[in-house]
Structure 1
Amino acid sequence: MKLYIKNMVCNRCKMVVKTELEKLGFSPVSVQLGEVELVQENLNTTQNEAIKEVLSKSGFELLTDRKKQLTEQIKTTIIELAHYQTEPLKSNLSEYLSKKLDTEYAYLSAIFSETEQSTIEKYFIQQKVEKAKELLTYGEHSLSEIAFQLNYSSVAHLSAQFKKISGQTPSQYKLNQDLSRKTLDEI
């Protein structure tokens, strides 16, 4: 049985969720960003409520609504792309999401917009800008390297999107060291 969990956006989150489920007596087969597969096939109401309660205490939410589950899958896929994938995207975002989630992009886009009041593309850009902020803060890469790593066609393109989202250019951000970064679940 698969569980979809909101705000599970990093490896530490995965570890917390796995530990909490094991404390409740469940056996997670797989723990991925936003998703847990259990050995158990079905949950009774008491088990479901226990999971909701323990996850809530750690800042997570068990998603039971199909639209919210799909939205969380989209967000998780985008977070993986922006923050954890080292290879450049070989297709456009819409094709990638459609193939990965085995659902028509028009449907994914409509559900995401309905539940998030924003577009998938804007969410992807926000995630990439947060990753750029992280990389700028560490100071280990040039802006050109960051643009390449985040699959931008040019430094100018990255800079334009960065300024639109954050209100300042990447260079200004780096000079000011205004560490106004958001956690991944706040985006």
Structure 2
Amino acid sequence: MITLFIKNMVCGRCIMVVQNEFDKLSIDIKNIRLGEVIVDKELTDQEKKQMQDVLLSLGFELIDDKKGRIIEKIKNIIIDLVHYQETDTKTNLSDILGRQLHHDYNYLSNLFSEVEGTTIEKYFIAQKIEKVKELLVYDELSLSEIAFRLNYSSVAYLSNQFKKITGLTPSHFKQIKEDKRKPLDKL
């Protein structure tokens, strides 16, 4: 089995689009999840080229280098943790990444900063703020409930971080409800 890593595959809809393209090219997928597609055999050069062209036209990209794969795994773990898991874990992000990627966190952190031009922590905060925006727009949870769900130590800390990143208070953001959200792959 071969694992292919795909950049910008960050949501359920992305998975469906990529699955559809593999189906069109009659490439059998054994498993697919955020950023990864597992196939039962190595793709031929022609299949790789076809898939790369199709994926690029849709805003995705096959990742061939080891560093790129690690970066994509870091992003996908963070996106999954923030946007798709309903846990109130107090485990440090550094512990989660180190355990899941089998690398020392300092190595991961330095690699991420070198390649992405930002820190893992800033990327994690950007994802959390985007989730806060989503939850504010849905208007189903109070700010206290949002702070609890996203493991903020207090509403005040969440509000301060939100304002620092967006320039708006959560309540002001909630009032304007304009197109202030960003796609996850653009963070």
TM-score interval for Structure 1 and Structure 2 normalised by the shorter chain: over 0.9
Instruction: Please tell me whether the aligned partners of residues 137 and 179 of structure 1 are also in contact (alpha carbons under 8 angstroms).
Output: no
**Equivalent residue, structure 1, for 2:132:** 132
2:37 is paired with a residue of what secondary structure?
strand
Structure 2 residue runs of 5 or longer lacking an equivalent are: none
Q: Percent identity?
A: 53
* Aligned-CA RMSD value: 0.9
Shift of 1:175: 1.7
Shift of 1:146: 0.4
**Equivalent residue, structure 2, for 1:85:** 85
**Equivalent residue, structure 2, for 1:35:** 36
Shift of 1:103: 1.2
Shift of 1:45: 1.5
2:14 is paired with a residue of what secondary structure?
helix
* Number of residue-to-residue matches in the alignment: 186
Shift of 1:90: 3.5
TM-score (norm 2): 0.97
TM-score (norm 1): 0.97
1:29 and 1:112 mapped to 2: Cα distance?
29
1:182 is paired with a residue of what secondary structure?
coil
1:163 and 1:5 mapped to 2: Cα distance?
33
1:122 and 1:25 mapped to 2: Cα distance?
40
Shift of 1:50: 1.0
1:22 and 1:3 mapped to 2: Cα distance?
15
1:153 is paired with a residue of what secondary structure?
coil
- Given the alignment of the two structures, is residue 148 of structure 1 paired with residue 148 of structure 2, yes or no? yes
Shift of 1:111: 1.0
2:178 and 2:44 mapped to 1: Cα distance?
48
1:154 and 1:107 mapped to 2: Cα distance?
31
1:103 and 1:16 mapped to 2: Cα distance?
31
